[in-house]
Structure 1
Amino acid sequence: MNPAQPPTPPGPDVLVVGGGIGGLSTAFALSREGLRVRVLERAEEFGEVGAGIQIAPNCTRILDEYGLLDEAKSLGVLPESMVMRDALDARELTRLDLRDLERHYGFPYMVIHRSDLHGIFLHACRAAGVELLTDRTVVGYEHTDGGARVRLADGGVEEARLVVAADGLRSVARRQLVGDNVVSSDYVAYRAAVPIDQVRANGIAEKDVTLHVGPRCHFVQYALRGGDMFNQVAVFESPKALAGQDDWGTPDELDAAFEATCDTVRKGIPLMWRDRWWQMLDRDPVDTWVHGRIALLGDAAHPPLQYMAQGAVMAIEDGWVLARHTARHSTADGPDWDAVLAAYEAVRVEHCRRVQTTARAWGALWHLDGEQRLRRNEILRERDVYDYGFTDWVYGPTALTPDEEPPMFTPIPLS
């Protein structure tokens, strides 16, 4: 008699396409609800490219709920203030007292290396039993009677009751299901993370997040990894992009863009990485993120310009909201995915639309020149440091249902 064949292991309840911060945080959140989750990552190994990332209280609140905040704090930095200065004359325009901000919202404002935050979620997924598969390139999405499936470049097929497309700005799912194009701002970002000893003589503020805003450019600085590393971001409008050239944002443009800035900024520019740069792109907001049992998430749904430091935060919020509604709309037979996805879309679309459009407006305000720059500076210097009216809508509690959305406030650019 032949020995009994072992039973075929059950397939996943959820497929998550994309192993970045959004995909992994969502996989972890759904696994906490008892679901079998499989992540498909196209790279040969999991990892993140970039340098520093800012995590506001609307995200550290979620990290705390997940039991991950202490680990994040051990790897990151809790700055004392966020300070906006004029990039030409270095005068202070306004600031946030981040220690008081933590008292106001109950959770800290933190900066952390992007790879460290990614690693926290990767380790959490492994500990939670999430199935993590690499070298899986998804090339298409299809609907099924009971869910959805994805087609892989190697001819394989994966399917589940729910497919979450967390595949980034250039999402295959977004291209197939929505069909819109990315939007160029004609601005480009350079980054660098260096040992802090290399910049201590440059007039830096080690305990602050400092933002210098200038005509058609800005410069961000803050410490990372317990203060041992220093992060810098240089952003500027590219003349080559404005002229319609394909090769734009090159290092010669970087140097030219910051020639007239203050000493602190000019001293930081030679340290920027010059072998890579990031063209600043977003997409116009869309109302529909859910197509059958395929849900867009993170940058696939709402890629913002970086001026509000909310891109990764919004992706983490998406996963948290999706998991909370999974818990709300589940019975002994499992989740009612139609109800879950309807609630997810109802909660997130309008909030993320506002972040996207506000980020564009903040970028325009930061980069003013001439009389408009002077008037902006005058208005910002009049702001009360402890006025949180412009941050409550984004840093306050994450909405779970539409009627729990925080009150609407008119934002003032700062972060």
Structure 2
Amino acid sequence: MAQKTVPVLIVGGGIGGLGAALALALQGIPSRVLEQASGFGEIGAGIQLGPNVFRMFHRLGISDAIEKRAVFVDKIIMMDAVAGTPITEVPLGKPFRERFGQPYAVIHRADLHRALLDACEARGELISLETKTSVTSVRDTDDGVVAVTGDGSEISGAALIGADGLWSSVRAYVADDGPPRVSGHVAYRAVLPMEQVPKEMRWNAATLWAGPRIHLVHYPLRNGELMNLVAVFHSDRYVEGWNAPGEVDELLRWFKDIDPRPLSLIDLVSEWRMWVLCDRDPISKWSRGRTTLLGDAAHPMLQYFAQGACMALEDAVCLADKVTAADGDYGEAFKAYQAERYLRTGRVQLMARFLGDIYHAKDVERELRNQMLAGRTPETSYQGLAWLYDGP
């Protein structure tokens, strides 16, 4: 059995890694967070927060910090990008909060990361935050684990959590299932000052314009001072790419025939950042001995369900609970953790793929989508989301 005085090694200092460190610290378990970058930070812009992750914020003690930084949108809207007409919407007001017990919001990714980082730094006696530490391999020992870094040095710990994202080196040790799946979809991201956005487009909503093999998402950030934009289209030109400069001409070729209102938002952006969207098939084996996976390292998913960060923080809280319940037997704790999590996260992974097909429907499929979603009542929408938002 591992001693509580020996720290758990956490590879990766993103949202999932910091969430795991904080969840463990709240149960008296020390950790060392090993981040390969020169500092702790997040690249990207807006993310959406469902009621399920607000329960995790309460468990982690960061609810107040999140509520100060988040924007509580009035509704989720799906629009037909070609016709410019509404398809369906989900109201997020009082009935939604009463149904799920928590709100729905959007937040800048960096602000969520900052809230977690502040909470971790406040628990410095239990959490060591270490930068410029790239873990290249892992091995189990008789009484713990060893992480080998890029310079050949070795770091020992009671156990190890791989929270190192889509291209996880820890996953290669645990599952050895090759590279991620390239989806054939590309996301262009940008943030606009809200003062540049036409007043008629300053919607307090998480809005998705669905078009043939394309979609555009926009919503406000930082007290309505910014607008987050994500434009997605199909492309087989790229195998990988992350935070790379986007080609405006390529984007406009895909979106030139959409309704003038969303097109006007695209035209306001002078610089886009491009991500090639990848995921993996769900697996049930997240752990090997005293090593386990968390977040995108365990279950990378397409962004279409807006649940990546939410699932990572659910993982973090569940994992800490299982470690405490197993009285420090990390091997047993990690088995219990993956058993509780893999079907839920696998469902989100597959649902995200399905939603991509729904958003990007064309021709008759587009017409059928619009017909089937027309006239949905709020309660019908809430029932369809209950399995996700009532959990975990």
How far does residue 322 in structure 1 lie from its aligned partner after superposition?
0.5
Task: Tell me if the contact between 1:12 and 1:38 (Cα under 8 Å) persists in the aligned partners.
Answer: no
SS in 2 for 1:313: helix
Task: Tell me if the contact between 1:240 and 1:249 (Cα under 8 Å) persists in the aligned partners.
Answer: no
Equivalent positions of 1:204-223 (< 5 A) are 204-223=201-220
- Which residue is equivalent to 1:105? 100
Task: Tell me if the contact between 1:238 and 1:248 (Cα under 8 Å) persists in the aligned partners.
Answer: no
Q: Identify if the C-alpha distance between structure 1 residues 205 and 196 changes in structure 2 by more than 3 Å, giving closer, same or farther.
A: closer
How far does residue 113 in structure 1 lie from its aligned partner after superposition?
0.2
Distance in structure 2 (CA, Å) of the matches to 1:327 and 1:82: 38
Instruction: Say yes or no: does 1:128 pair with 2:123.
Output: yes
Instruction: Say yes or no: does 1:233 pair with 2:268.
Output: no
SS in 2 for 1:373: helix
How far does residue 105 in structure 1 lie from its aligned partner after superposition?
0.8
Distance in structure 2 (CA, Å) of the matches to 1:12 and 1:263: 59
Aligned identity (percent) is 39
Instruction: Say yes or no: does 1:361 pair with 2:354.
Output: yes
- Which residue is equivalent to 1:176? 173
Structure 2 counterpart of 1:190, from 188, 191, 195: 188
Distance in structure 2 (CA, Å) of the matches to 1:367 and 1:248: 24
How far does residue 146 in structure 1 lie from its aligned partner after superposition?
1.3
How far does residue 54 in structure 1 lie from its aligned partner after superposition?
0.4
SS in 2 for 1:116: helix
SS in 2 for 1:386: helix
Instruction: Say yes or no: does 1:395 pair with 2:389.
Output: yes
Instruction: Say yes or no: does 1:118 pair with 2:116.
Output: no
Task: Tell me if the contact between 2:174 and 2:286 (Cα under 8 Å) persists in the aligned partners.
Answer: no
Task: Tell me if the contact between 2:76 and 2:206 (Cα under 8 Å) persists in the aligned partners.
Answer: yes
Aligned residues: 380
- Which residue is equivalent to 1:151? 148
Q: Identify if the C-alpha distance between structure 1 residues 339 and 175 changes in structure 2 by more than 3 Å, giving closer, same or farther.
A: closer
How far does residue 274 in structure 1 lie from its aligned partner after superposition?
3.4
Distance in structure 2 (CA, Å) of the matches to 1:239 and 1:248: 17
Distance in structure 1 (CA, Å) of the matches to 2:265 and 2:366: 23
Task: Tell me if the contact between 1:191 and 1:277 (Cα under 8 Å) persists in the aligned partners.
Answer: yes
Partner AA of 1:358 in structure 2: M
Per-residue CA distance 1:218-265 (angstroms, 9 max, x = gap):
0111111111111111111125359xxxx9974322111101111121
Query: Rg larger in 1 or in 2?
Result: 1
SS in 2 for 1:269: helix
- Which residue is equivalent to 1:410? none
Per-residue CA distance 1:176-216 (angstroms, 9 max, x = gap):
33232211111111111121111134x31421111111100
Distance in structure 1 (CA, Å) of the matches to 2:248 and 2:344: 36
Q: Note the residue ranges of structure 1 that are not aligned, 5 or more in a row.
A: 1-9, 399-415
Distance in structure 1 (CA, Å) of the matches to 2:137 and 2:332: 25
Structure 2 counterpart of 1:337, from 326, 330, 334: 330
Q: Per chain length, whose mean CA-contact separation is higher, i.e. which structure has more relative contact order (CA < 8 Å, sep 6+)?
A: 2
Distance in structure 2 (CA, Å) of the matches to 1:287 and 1:62: 23
| Runs of 4+ with >4 A deviation | none
Q: Note the residue ranges of structure 2 that are not aligned, 5 or more in a row.
A: none
How far does residue 20 in structure 1 lie from its aligned partner after superposition?
0.3
- Which residue is equivalent to 1:200? 198
How far does residue 111 in structure 1 lie from its aligned partner after superposition?
0.5
Instruction: Say yes or no: does 1:32 pair with 2:16.
Output: no
Q: Name the Cα RMSD after superposition.
A: 1.8
- Which residue is equivalent to 1:52? 46
Distance in structure 2 (CA, Å) of the matches to 1:11 and 1:253: 54
- Which residue is equivalent to 2:67? 73
How far does residue 326 in structure 1 lie from its aligned partner after superposition?
2.0
How far does residue 101 in structure 1 lie from its aligned partner after superposition?
1.6
Equivalent positions of 1:214-363 (< 5 A) are 214-238=211-235, 240-241=237-238, 250-272=247-269, 274=271, 276-330=273-327, 335-363=328-356
How far does residue 90 in structure 1 lie from its aligned partner after superposition?
1.6
Partner AA of 1:74 in structure 2: K
